[in-house]
Amino acid sequence: MCKSITEERLTESADIAIDLAVSSVKANGLPFSAIILDRNGDLIGQGVNQVTKHLDCTAHAEVQAIREASRSTKDVSLRGTTLIASGEPCALCYMAIRMAGIEKEKLLCCRIDTRCNNTGLIICGHTSTSTRVSFRILRFFPSITRGSCSHFSWPK
């Protein structure tokens, strides 16, 4: 159950997800990114929202990361992995996460805690005028199937 991933590694990985979201916005994309770590904390998949680029309504960041992780591991089951997402997954992504068997999820923003600043980036807690956007890690769900946020509940 991902016990070997240290808090330090999770924080480093959150920075990777943030950098992906910022890069996506700089390339005229949306600020949605996701990365997947294996049990040891090694990056096995990453993705950004590419719906418009690929003309594919399922090319959300989480789905793109799942696709890459499955190719990387040569397995559709991602049991024991951790997903770090820049925002709260939509229903499509939530179901893909469950179907892949991802066991933990770290959300950098949830829909209740977000707002937009003048750069168009979705951020949490505060705005930043620097080129580096600061995200505040809001929740760490021990299990996406049992976890809950104070603002919403995952379906059982």
The residues annotated as belonging to the active site are: 62
Q: State the CB neighbour count (10 A cutoff) for residue 137.
A: 16
Backbone angles phi, psi at 97, to 5 degrees: -60, -45
CA dist 154 → 44, 117, 150 (Å): 25, 28, 11
H or E, element range at 104: strand 104-107
Upper half-sphere CA count for residue 126 (Cβ side, 13 Å): 6
Strand order across the 139-141 sheet: 43-48, 33-37, 82-85, 104-107, 139-141
